[in-house]
Amino acid sequence: MTAPQFPVSEIVASRRPHRKDAARNYDALLAAARDAFAENGAEASLEDIARRAGVGIGTLYRNFPTRRDLFESVYADDVNALCQAAAEVAALEPWEALVTWLDRFVGYMVTKRAVREALNDESEIFQACRGSMYAAGGPLLERAQRAGVARADMEFGDLLRMVAGITATAFEDDAQRDRVLAIALDGVRTGHVATSGR
């Protein structure tokens, strides 16, 4: 299935270089920055990011003149991947599609907190990313609600806040986090016997 176009996909496409070698460097820098921010927070060293990407610091600055440019590009790229994931799971059964996408959202939240916190909620790119995420994931909840497998008295924003709140909590390990999330999702699902499993 072809992923529908969202504003964030246009942002990502406009920032990525067209030349193959330049695009490779750009992608390598995004991947390195993603890892560095997840490990060291928003103050991760730009020199370390360039080194991880296998490029010089000059190449980093040509692609991302400021640290904010790098934050925004990583954030937009990750939200775009979430939007594409929504299209990829759309053929699954309604509840499975919703939970599979939420698993991707959990991974995004766990590793992207430093980048997200560095951006102002009022920034244009944040608003575009938020709108795209809601436009991509919202229909998955609505479909599950129409199928009678998700409670009808909640909105997509309620669901994201619940999941984001869980991922922001400190856990002993990923298994405990997943267990708590499964318990929470039992409260979202309807017409089933609660099993604390998804």
pLDDT tens track for 11-25: 777 888 888 989 999
How large is the average pLDDT for residues 61-74?
A: 90
Return the sign of the alpha-carbon dihedral for residues 2, 9, 132, 31.
positive
**CATH pick for 7-186 out of 3.30.1860.10, 1.10.357.10, 3.40.50.10860, 3.40.190.290:** 1.10.357.10
How large is the average pLDDT for residues 89-94?
A: 94
Is pLDDT of 44 > 70?
yes
Question: Which tops the pLDDT comparison, 124 or 181?
Answer: 181
| pLDDT tens per residue across span 122-164 | 677 778 888 889 999 999 999 999 999 999 999 999 999 999 8
Only one residue has tokens 């992608």, namely 27
What pLDDT does residue 121 have? 65
What pLDDT does residue 135 have? 92
What pLDDT does residue 111 have? 67
Q: For the whole model, what pTM was predicted?
A: 0.81
Name 61's Cβ contacts closer than 8 Å, sequence gap at least 6.
none
Is pLDDT of 112 > 80?
no
User: Domain extents for the chain?
Assistant: 7-186
